[in-house]
Each structure stands twice: as C-alpha cells, then as structure tokens.
C-alpha cells in the first residue's frame, strides 16, 4: 500500500467566524467523514510545524505579514470584505503554511509517497502584498518557493482545482519559469482573473496555463480538459513535484459557484494527477485544502482524492452526479488554450 500522510491540527478550527462560508465547520465535516470511513487509519499523521517569517517572506512582503498579525490582535477584524481575522487566526495561518511545508519536506525526503494537508485558512488568493478571498498566506505558493529556493528543485507544477482562479499563486510566479501553474476555474467569476491569454511573462511565457470555463461544466468537460490540456502540458514540463491547490467548490452542490462536478469527477481528476506524479516525479504529490462549502459534498470529494492516493476504488457518495442539463460547448476553448500553449 502507498505510504500516504495527512496534516491536521485542532488549531485550524480556531480561525472561525459564525455564519461565514469559510468556517471551522468545513474542516470538522471533512475530519468526521474521514474518521468514519477509517481512511485516516490507513494514513500517517504528520505534525505540522509553525511557519516563521523567513518562510512567509519567500512569497509575502513584510507589510502584509505585519498587517495580518496586527489585525488578529484586535480579536475580530476584516482584511477585506470577505476575509476575517480573529485572535487565533495568525497562529492558525502560521500552522497552516507550516503544515504544507512539513508535508512537502517529508514527501521529498522519501518518508511518504504523498500527502493531503487538511489545513485552513486557505491560501491561493493571497498575493505577495494582499490577503483576500478568505485567504491569509498562500500556503501552496510558499511551499513551492521553499522547494525551489531551499531544496534545490528546478521544476514544480501547481495544479489548482478550485472553482475560483488562484490569482495569488499566478501573481507570485508569473515570471518564474521554474513553476508551471495550471488552473481550471469558472469564468468570469471571483476574483476576475484567469484569462487564457495570461500565459506568463519573460522566460516564463507558457508556464501559466489558465482554462477559464463557463458555468455548468460537468465531469465530462473536466475530463476533456485534463486529457487534452493538463496531461500533455504537465508531461512536457516534467515537474519534480506536483502540488495541488485542492478546492472542492466546483461541485454541483456547492452554494458559492455554478460548475457541475461530482465526487466521481474529483476522483477522476485526482487519478489523472496521480498518474502524472507516478510517471514524472516518483509519485510525489501534496494536496493542500482550499475551498468547498457544501459540507457533505466536501467530505466525500476530499475522500475521493485521498482514495486515489491510497489506491482505493471510488466510493459512491450520497450526493451523486449533477442534474442532467445542457452543458456548455468547450470545443472552442480547448482549441484556443492548446493554440496558446503550442499543444
């Protein structure tokens, strides 16, 4: 059986505001489902460390770090209209980032084949200068920079499966040819970025791959995107590790978006990612939790991804497939993205 780890810490639950979509209830639901399914018993728990300022400064400027720390000291305050900080938020954010760092180090050093980081607050909207979109520090971007700057890797792929475009991750690496950033996202939608023409700058042209999808795309459309774009572009890049910004708000039950994925669709996406990792980088893949706001769909979708890491068959879920309605035609989009990236 593959050696798969997970990161979890109760401190992640203390970053919480009642009634906010990005609440501690999300992680409680995931943890309860994984406990009930006995999946966690098949995995190795990794104790997360706390990120320090030198970790954060791999991506973020000092003013942002100071602002988040000071905002959290006021017990409840808002960094933007969507993004809160409470007394425990700064500590939880340090441990969220540190949890992903612990996972990538353990996987890279051969202690595990792969890992899933059950961390929050999430990160992919956090830019080098700004916390936004429920995100404080960009966990995945910091982990990728850590691999490049400290661990000697030359190529890291970031696959973003959240329904919202990871503008913070794109900003962090837009001119860095060592990072391949691949994102599927509903468009136009928050945060308003992610056009297919945004392909990178300078020597990094071609390493920023956006697939902006219309509302209503289901498992079939996502499967075509992975078959025709994600797999060939990542195979060409040949990463030494794959990081996944694992948002599950493209699920058809999610209240904050309008795509039509199912848990089965997430299982198929994760199967494709595992195949890439096995072929290109010794199976080294680390997932970090991002969005997903229907608690039942979230728990089953996380489980679907973990099942692929463990080599398990898909476990049918009670939410099921999306309603059978007309789907958008993505033929033109696929051709346009392929043309933009020479596929």
Check which CATH number belongs to the domain holding 199 and give it.
3.40.800.20
Question: Quick one: pLDDT at residue 146?
Answer: 98
Burial of 323 (0-12, 13-18, 19+ CB in 10 A): exposed
On the question of pLDDT at 325 being above 90, the answer is no
The 10s digit of each residue's pLDDT in 171-202 is: 999 999 999 999 999 999 999 999 999 999 99
pLDDT band at residue 26, thresholds of 50, 70 and 90? very high
- Number of domains the chain contains: 1
Over residues 77-104, the mean pLDDT reads 97
CA–CA gap between residue 320 and residue 253 (Å, rounded): 10
pLDDT band at residue 14, thresholds of 50, 70 and 90? very high
Q: What are phi and psi of 216, to 5 degrees?
A: 95, 5
pLDDT band at residue 22, thresholds of 50, 70 and 90? very high
On the question of pLDDT at 32 being above 90, the answer is yes
The 10s digit of each residue's pLDDT in 242-279 is: 999 999 999 999 999 999 999 999 999 999 999 999 99
Range of the domain at 81: 4-340
First to last CA, the chain: 35
CA dihedral sign, ordered 42, 267, 27, 147: positive
The DSSP secondary-structure symbol of 235 reads: H
* Residues taking part in catalysis: 125
pTM score, whole prediction: 0.98
Q: Which residues contact 59 (CB under 8 A, 6 or more apart)?
A: 128, 137, 138, 141, 142, 145, 172
Over residues 206-216, the mean pLDDT reads 98
Question: Quick one: pLDDT at residue 224?
Answer: 98
CA–CA gap between residue 320 and residue 103 (Å, rounded): 31
Question: Quick one: pLDDT at residue 75?
Answer: 86
Mean pLDDT computed over every residue of the chain: 97
Question: Quick one: pLDDT at residue 1?
Answer: 80
Over residues 37-63, the mean pLDDT reads 97
How is 43-84 classified by DSSP, letter by letter?
Answer: SEEEPPPPP-HHHHTTTS-HHHHHHHHHHHTTSEEESSSS-E
Lowest mean pLDDT among 64-78, 150-164, 227-241: 64-78
């Amino acid at each position: 059986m593959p050696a798969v780890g997970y990161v979890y810490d109760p401190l992640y639950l203390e970053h919480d505001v009642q009634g906010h979509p990005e609440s501690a209830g999300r992680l409680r639901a995931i943890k309860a489902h994984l406990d009930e399914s006995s999946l966690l018993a098949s995995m190795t728990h990794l104790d997360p460390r706390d990120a320090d300022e030198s970790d954060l400064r791999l991506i973020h400027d000092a003013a942002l770090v100071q602002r988040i720390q000071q905002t959290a000291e006021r017990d409840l305050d808002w960094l933007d209209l969507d993004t809160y900080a409470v007394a425990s938020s700064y500590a939880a954010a340090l441990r969220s980032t540190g949890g992903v760092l612990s996972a990538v180090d353990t996987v890279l050093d051969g202690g595990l084949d792969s890992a899933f980081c059950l961390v929050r607050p999430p990160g992919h909207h956090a830019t080098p200068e700004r916390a936004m979109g429920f995100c404080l520090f960009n966990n995945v971007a910091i982990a990728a920079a850590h691999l490049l700057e400290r661990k000697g890797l030359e190529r890291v792929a970031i696959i973003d499966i959240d329904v919202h475009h990871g503008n913070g991750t794109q900003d962090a690496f837009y001119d860095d040819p060592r990072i391949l950033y691949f994102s599927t996202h509903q468009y136009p939608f928050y945060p308003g970025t992610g056009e297919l023409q945004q392909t990178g700058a300078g020597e990094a042209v071609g390493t920023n791959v956006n697939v902006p999808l219309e509302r209503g795309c289901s498992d079939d459309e996502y499967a075509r995107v992975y078959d025709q774009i994600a797999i060939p572009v990542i195979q060409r890049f040949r990463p030494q590790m794959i990081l996944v910004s694992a948002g599950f708000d493209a699920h058809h039950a999610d209240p904050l978006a309008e795509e039509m994925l199912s848990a089965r669709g997430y299982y198929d996406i994760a199967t494709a990612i595992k195949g890439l990792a096995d072929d290109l980088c010794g199976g080294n893949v680390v997932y970090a939790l991002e969005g997903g706001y229907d608690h039942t769909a979230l728990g089953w979708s996380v489980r679907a991804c973990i099942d692929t890491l463990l080599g398990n068959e898909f476990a049918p879920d009670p939410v099921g497939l999306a309603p059978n309605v007309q789907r958008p035609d993505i033929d033109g989009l696929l051709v346009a993205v392929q043309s933009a990236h020479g596929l």
